[in-house]
């Protein structure tokens, strides 16, 4: 099993290219199930989750291909993917595939909308909370699907097609918003999604569906209105840059010091965390290339943070920010409001010398003068990269085990950091 070894103490200087967003690419790939024509996606990241979704879509009969490298591209350039679900040959998404990635459950919406039936295993994925599928099921039922749970599978049937409805989500759910927006695109009549997620990835999917012929208004607000159409066509769409990867590398620069340009990054996608980083002492500047992040020798200031749905501070940056606060001057309080079990990185940060006290969903972080390298273990995707950030500033050597979590969401992380001066390497086996 691969490990990452790094030695802390080196500032980061240079350029890091930001990849396409995983959280946008996955629902965009799933949208290929809605049409019998080819959907072409540009700037798709090379990630374990993307590769796994290829297998899941192939099981349904989706043909896919990846364009080869083009002139002027390097290994950091996003890939262009062609997906065509000309004939869906299987409407079952089996446990052995879905259990590896929660987002694969989202195929239930396009499958029942286009085929009138879907049998999808209840999902697995990171152990950071229950993340139930109730919102998905209740929403599809309001669109007219009959759903039963049998032996760990959600079985949805709509032999006469779906029909528009008003769906008010009891809580904000990005996955349910993605899924029901896709399903409603082929429903008869108008669908209104109230209390919808507002994340940029929702807007990206809506723009792609619109290019495919869907009629969608209000994406990016809490109310999305979809007028169903009889069929969708193929389209070409470019995946937006990954705001979580952007925030992660910005925090790495704030932790180590230095001066890094995050190529292709968009400041408008993560205004809240960038504002927090400025309070902590980083200098953030939007440029025509992306975002420039700098920190001089003044140190890091403690800042309190509470995770919130977009446009607030994202839960997917909570672990990384906690790592940054371990070296801050003063005491910070980090409140996790989205997932009930997303503090598993605390014990591993403590192995590096961090002082963190947990009280329910609040972590109190007392900044320390220095961290010391140690062997640590990744517990989930975002927790694993928080250990990288801490290790970049720790004295001595840090070894991070179970880094397959990193490969789910960060494309060639050790290469990108290494190009900016980090002493980091992957150890195979």
Q: Which domains does the chain have, with CATH numbers?
A: 3-15+242-427 (3.65.10.10), 23-238 (3.65.10.10)
N-term to C-term CA, the chain: 5
Cis preceding-peptide flag for 215 (omega within 30 of 0): no
Classify residue 19 by its DSSP letter.
P
CA distance linking residue 74 with residue 172, whole number of Å: 38
> Mean pLDDT by 10-residue block, N- to C-terminus, for the chain (429 residues)?
93 98 97 98 96 96 89 72 98 91 93 98 56 86 96 94 97 96 98 98 98 98 98 98 98 97 97 98 96 90 97 95 98 91 90 97 97 92 90 97 88 96 93
Identify the pLDDT of residue 383.
83
Say if CB 58 and CB 64 are below 8 A apart: yes
Please write the tens of the pLDDT for every residue from 132-156: 689 999 999 999 999 999 998 999 9
Residue 49 has φ and ψ, to the nearest 5°, of -65, -40
Give the 3-state secondary structure of residue 24: helix
Half-sphere exposure of 403 (CA within 13 A, CB side): 26
- Is 208 designated active site? no
Does 48 carry a binding-site annotation? Answer: no
Handedness of CA 262, 312, 387, 53 (dihedral sign): negative
22 is in an annotated binding site: yes
Tokens of 412: 């060639």
Number of CB atoms found within 10 A of residue 152's CB = 10
Q: Using alpha carbons, list the distances in angstroms from residue 88 to 155, 189, 413.
A: 17, 24, 36
pLDDT of residue 72: 56
pLDDT for 126 equals: 41
> Cis before residue 311, ω within 30 degrees of 0?
yes
User: Does 23 count as an annotated binding residue?
Assistant: yes
Catalytic one of 84, 126, 208, 420? 126
């Amino acid at each position: 099993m691969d490990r990452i070894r790094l030695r802390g103490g080196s500032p980061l200087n240079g350029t890091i290219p930001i990849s396409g967003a995983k959280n946008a690419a996955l629902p965009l790939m799933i949208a290929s199930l809605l049409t019998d024509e080819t959907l072409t996606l540009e700037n798709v990241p090379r990630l374990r989750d993307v590769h796994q979704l290829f297998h899941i879509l192939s099981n349904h009969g989706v043909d896919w291909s990846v364009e080869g490298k083009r002139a002027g591209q390097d290994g950091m350039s996003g890939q262009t993917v062609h997906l065509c679900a000309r004939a869906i040959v299987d409407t079952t998404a089996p446990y052995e595939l879905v259990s590896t990635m929660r987002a694969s459950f989202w195929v239930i919406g396009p499958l029942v909308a286009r085929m009138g039936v879907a049998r999808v295993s209840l999902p697995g994925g990171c152990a950071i909370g229950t993340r139930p599928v109730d919102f998905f099921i209740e929403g599809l039922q309001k669109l007219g699907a009959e759903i039963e749970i049998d032996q760990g599978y959600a079985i949805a049937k709509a032999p006469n097609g779906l029909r528009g409805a008003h769906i008010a989500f009891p809580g904000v759910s990005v996955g349910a918003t993605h899924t029901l927006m896709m399903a409603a695109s082929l429903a008869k009549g108008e669908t209104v999604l109230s209390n919808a997620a507002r994340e940029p990835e929702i807007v990206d999917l809506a723009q792609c569906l619109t290019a495919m012929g869907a009629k969608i208004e209000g994406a990016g607000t809490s109310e999305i209105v979809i007028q169903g159409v009889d069929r969708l066509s193929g389209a070409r769409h470019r995946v937006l840059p990954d705001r979580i990867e952007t925030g992660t590398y910005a925090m790495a620069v704030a932790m180590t010091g230095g001066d890094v340009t995050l190529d292709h990054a968009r400041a408008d996608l993560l205004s809240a965390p960038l504002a927090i980083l400025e309070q902590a002492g980083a200098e953030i500047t939007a440029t025509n290339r992306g975002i420039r992040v700098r920190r001089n020798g003044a140190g890091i200031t403690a800042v309190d943070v509470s995770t919130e749905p977009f446009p607030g501070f994202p839960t997917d940056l909570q672990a990384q920010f906690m790592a940054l606060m371990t070296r801050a001057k003063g005491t910070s309080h980090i409140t996790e409001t989205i997932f009930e079990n997303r503090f598993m990185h605390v014990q591993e940060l403590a192995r590096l010398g961090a002082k963190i006290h947990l009280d329910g969903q609040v972590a109190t972080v007392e900044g320390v003068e220095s961290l010391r390298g140690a062997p640590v273990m990744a517990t989930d995707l975002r927790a694993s990269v928080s250990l990288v950030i801490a290790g970049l500033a720790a004295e001595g050597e840090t070894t991070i085990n179970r880094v397959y979590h990193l490969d789910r969401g960060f494309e060639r992380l050790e290469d990108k950091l290494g190009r900016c001066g980090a002493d980091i390497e992957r150890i195979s086996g």
